[in-house]
Amino acid sequence: MKPNDLHKLQARARVLKAMAHPTRLHILNVLAGGECCVCELTEDIDADLSTVSKHLSVLKNAGLVKDEKRGLQVFYTLCCPCILDFMGCVENVLRSNAAQQKNLVS
Amino acid sequence: MKPNDLHKLQARARVLKAMAHPTRLHILNVLAGGECCVCELTEDIDADLSTVSKHLSVLKNAGLVKDEKRGLQVFYTLCCPCILDFMGCVENVLRSNAAQQKNLVS
DNA sequence: TTCCTATTTGGCAGTATAACCAAATAGTGC
DNA sequence: GCACTATTTGGTTATACTGCCAAATAGGAA
């Protein structure tokens, strides 16, 4: 593997890693419906405010979301909505896993 | 967030997490070109054999690859090649990150 | 059986993540 | 300035991941 390739792979892995958490995937889903403030996001996530805030900063550092402060609130927006298109393929993987399981059982 | 949703998100996050490593992304890239045995994969990855093997088992547990033993060798195959289509979007994210950086500097 | 090759597994040390709580910061209005 | 709300940051603990080495397993050949 060339060093140049390694850099590229590391960068990609960082983005994927940022997405690889249930809470963060949920946040991305919600943001797909339009910008949202932290307080709204916190409402339906069963976790401490500070935890949600940290998840948001992970997404932000990966460049997946942008934030904008307006008054007291901070609003987050999805940068590249295409990232959620990928979930269709992830579901394929999960479906074939489920089918596999079924075969093993029967 | 409903418990049902949580399950779905956890399952998706597991798949993403399995992809979220430079070495594993490299393996997936190579496998996109067709099945490959462990020894071939190990050649251009600068890591211990056992490390490569463990990465492969992570991918396998996530349902991203299948393995098949033939003689002494084990051949791995990509289950859902569509997972690599996603990289185009990841590159979008990275490109916009780079642009952002440039703006900050200038 | 014994040896050799290909791969996996177990164990360990170092590093990174995740969640919570408490404290800090930043607007807003009085 | 002070009080109040929204959010972030720091610190701590528990858990998970990564990479290496050494040992185990499995197939093939002598």
Q: Cα–Cα distance between B98 and B105 in angstroms, integer? A: 11
A89, B86 in Cβ contact below 8 A?
yes
Q: What is the mean pLDDT of residues B38-50?
A: 94
Above 80 in pLDDT, residue A55? yes
Average pLDDT, chain B: 93
pLDDT of A106 reads 67
Beta bridge partners of B74: B69
Above 70 in pLDDT, residue B106? no
Summarised one tens digit per residue, pLDDT across range A64-95 is 999 999 999 999 999 999 999 999 999 999 99
Q: Write out the DSSP string of B44-81.
A: TS-S-HHHHHHHHHHHHHTTSEEEEEETTEEEEEES-G
Picking from A18, A94, A8, the residue whose alpha carbon sits closest to that of residue B87 is A8
Average pLDDT, chain A: 93
Which residues from chain B sit within 8 angstroms of residue A13, using beta carbons?
19-22, 24-25
Residue nearest to nucleotide D18 (CA to C1'): B51
pLDDT of B5 reads 87
Residue A19 DSSP one-character state = H
Q: Cα–Cα distance between A39 and A43 in angstroms, integer? A: 6
Summarised one tens digit per residue, pLDDT across range B48-93 is 999 999 999 999 999 999 999 999 999 999 999 999 999 999 999 9
B85: Cβ contacts below 8 Å, ≥ 6 apart: A86, A89
pLDDT of A102 reads 79
A-B contacts at Cβ under 8 angstroms:
118
Which residue in the set A10, A16, A46 is minimally distant from B19, CB to CB? Answer: A16
A35, A67 in Cβ contact below 8 A?
no
The domain defined by A3-80 folds into: Arc Repressor Mutant, subunit A (1.10.10)
Above 80 in pLDDT, residue A105? no
Contact flag A93-B15 (C-beta cutoff 8 Å)? yes
Q: Strand C closer than 7 Å to the CB of B61?
A: no
Q: What's the 3-state SS for A20-86?
A: CCHHHHHHHHHHHCCCEEHHHHHHCCCCCHHHHHHHHHHHHHCCCEEEEEECCEEEEEECCHHHHCC
Residue B36 DSSP one-character state = E
Q: pLDDT band for position A56 (50/70/90)?
A: very high
